[in-house]
Amino acid sequence: MLVIRLLRTGKNNQPSFKIVVVEKEKSSTSGRFIEEVGFYNPLTKEKILKGERIKYWISVGAQPSDTIHNMLVSQKIIEGKKIDLHKKSKKKEEGTAEKPAAGAPVKEAAPEAAKIEEKKEEKPAEEAKAEPAEEKPEEKKE
| Structural domain contains residue 31 | yes
| Structural domain contains residue 133 | no
| Structural domain contains residue 13 | yes
| Structural domain contains residue 81 | no
- β-bridge pairing 14-23 and 2-11: antiparallel
Residue 21, Cβ density class (10 Å: 0-12 exposed, 13-18 middle, ≥19 buried)? buried
| Structural domain contains residue 83 | no
| Structural domain contains residue 47 | yes
| Structural domain contains residue 53 | yes
Question: Which one, of 45, 44, 41, lies nearest residue 19 by Cα?
Answer: 41
d(CA 39, CA 19): 5
Question: What pLDDT does 25 receive?
Answer: 83
Question: Which CATH number belongs to the domain containing residue 25 in this structure?
Answer: 3.30.1320.10
d(CA 81, CA 90): 25
Local mean pLDDT, 10-residue blocks, the chain (142 residues) = 90 92 79 88 92 90 89 85 79 62 55 57 54 55 54
d(CA 35, CA 22): 8
Split into its structural domains, the chain has a count of 1
d(CA 76, CA 132): 70
Question: What pLDDT does 88 receive?
Answer: 75
Domain that holds residue 65: 2-74
d(CA 24, CA 5): 9
Phi–psi pair at 11, nearest 5 degrees = -80, 175
| Structural domain contains residue 40 | yes
Question: What pLDDT does 129 receive?
Answer: 53
